C-alpha cells in the first residue's frame, strides 16, 4: 500500500469500535452520517463529538440513501458538512444524479446544485473529498463508463475552479462510487480526474478491495 493513498473504511455506527480494533492506524475510520450540530438531546442521532470519541476521522455526508430514502435536503447536508469540518472531522461529500435526471439531461445541474450547498456552508475545502456517485450506479451492478464518470468529474473540477478557487479545484480529490469492483477499477482509475473510489459491495471482499486500492496506488505511481 503506497503511503500517499488514503484508505478509509466506513462501518455502520455500531461496529465502528470493533472494526477499529482490528485495523492498524494506516486505515482510517469514517462514519456513514453525523448529526447536523453540536451534540445534545437528539434521541437516536450520533454526534460529531461522539464519532471523534470512538476514533472516527472522517464522515460520509449526502449519500444518495440519506438524500432520497431519508429525505435530507442540500442545505441540511451542507450544514452537516460545515459542522463536521469545524470540529475537525474530514468529510466525504457525496453528490450524484438519479436516472431520470440523467435521462432528462440534468446531470450537471443536479451535481452543481448539490456542490453549491456544500460551498455555501463549509468554512474551507481543505478536508473535503467530493464523491460523485450516480444514484443509478449504486448497488445496481451498472457502473458508469470511464467516459461518463470522467465527464462529470472534470465538470465538478471546473465548477470548483469557477465558484471556489483554482487552488481548491486542483487540490480537491474527486472520487467515484457506484458498482466499482476489482474488474472495472483500473479503467476508471486511468481517467485524469478520478482520484479514488467510494466502494460499497466490493469493499466487503478483502482481496477485491485491495485490488481497488492498488488501482489508485498504481495511478499515483504512474503519474
Ligand X SMILES: O=C(CO)COP(=O)(O)O
CB-CB contact of 186 with 146 (8 Å): no
Per CB under 6 A, 138 contacts ligand X:
yes
Q: How far apart are CA 30 and CA 51, in angstroms?
A: 9
Per CB under 6 A, 216 contacts ligand X:
no
**Residues 15-54: x/- map of binding to ligand X (CB under 6 A)?**
----------------------------------------
Would you put residue 95 in left (φ > 0), alpha (ψ -120 to 50) or beta? beta
**Count, residues near ligand X per rule CB under 6 A:** 13
Closest to ligand X by CB, 36 vs 185, is 185
Q: How far apart are CA 27 and CA 149, in angstroms?
A: 26
Mark the segment that binds ligand X (CB under 6 A) among 82-90, 102-110, 115-123, 177-185: 177-185
Mark the segment that binds ligand X (CB under 6 A) among 96-104, 121-129, 161-169, 175-183: 175-183
Residues noted as catalytic? 63, 133
- Packing angle between helix 107-121 and helix 74-86, nearest 10 degrees? 40
Mark the segment that binds ligand X (CB under 6 A) among 11-19, 20-28, 34-42, 194-202: 194-202
Among 38, 73, 120, 201, binds ligand X (CB under 6 A): 201
Per CB under 6 A, 95 contacts ligand X:
no
Closest to ligand X by CB, 78 vs 177, is 177
Would you put residue 53 in left (φ > 0), alpha (ψ -120 to 50) or beta? alpha
Per CB under 6 A, 110 contacts ligand X:
no
Q: How far apart are CA 154 and CA 147, in angstroms?
A: 10
| Angle, CA of 168, 172 and 177, to the nearest 5° | 145
Could you tell me which residues come within 8 angstroms of residue 2 by beta carbon, excluding any fewer than 6 positions away? 217, 220, 221
Per CB under 6 A, 72 contacts ligand X:
no
Could you tell me which residues come within 8 angstroms of residue 103 by beta carbon, excluding any fewer than 6 positions away? none
> At its nearest, how many Å lie between ligand X and the CB of residue 175?
10
> Which of 40, 164, 86 minimizes the C-alpha distance to 174?
164
Per CB under 6 A, 178 contacts ligand X:
yes
Cβ-proximal residue to ligand X, closest one: 200
Per CB under 6 A, 12 contacts ligand X:
no
> At its nearest, how many Å lie between ligand X and the CB of residue 60?
7
Chain residues in the site for ligand X (CB under 6 A): 63, 133, 138-139, 177-180, 198-202
Amino acid at each position: 500500500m503506497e503511503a500517499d493513498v488514503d484508505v478509509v473504511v466506513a462501518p455502520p455506527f455500531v461496529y465502528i469500535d470493533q472494526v477499529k480494533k482490528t485495523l492498524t492506524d494506516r486505515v482510517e475510520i469514517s462514519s456513514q452520517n453525523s448529526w447536523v450540530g453540536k451534540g445534545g438531546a437528539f434521541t437516536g442521532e450520533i454526534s460529531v463529538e461522539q464519532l471523534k470519541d470512538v476514533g472516527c476521522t472522517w464522515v460520509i455526508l449526502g449519500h444518495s440513501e440519506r438524500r432520497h430514502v431519508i429525505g435530507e435536503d442540500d442545505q441540511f447536508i451542507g450544514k452537516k458538512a460545515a459542522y463536521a469540518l469545524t470540529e475537525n472531522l474530514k468529510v466525504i461529500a457525496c453528490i450524484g444524479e438519479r436516472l431520470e435526471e440523467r435521462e432528462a439531461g440534468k446531470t450537471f445541474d443536479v451535481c452543481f446544485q448539490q456542490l453549491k450547498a456544500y460551498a455555501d456552508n463549509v468554512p474551507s475545502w481543505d478536508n473535503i473529498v467530493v464523491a460523485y456517485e450516480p444514484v443509478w450506479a449504486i448497488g445496481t451492478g451498472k457502473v458508469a463508463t470511464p467516459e461518463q464518470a470522467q465527464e462529470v468529474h472534470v465538470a465538478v473540477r471546473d465548477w470548483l475552479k469557477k465558484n471556489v478557487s483554482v487552488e481548491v479545484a486542483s487540490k480537491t480529490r474527486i472520487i467515484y462510487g457506484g458498482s466499482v469492483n476489482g474488474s472495472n477499477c483500473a479503467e476508471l482509475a486511468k481517467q485524469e480526474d478520478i482520484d479514488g473510489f467510494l466502494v460499497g459491495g466490493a469493499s466487503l471482499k478483502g482481496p477485491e478491495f485491495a485490488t481497488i486500492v492498488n488501482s489508485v496506488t498504481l495511478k499515483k505511481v504512474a503519474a
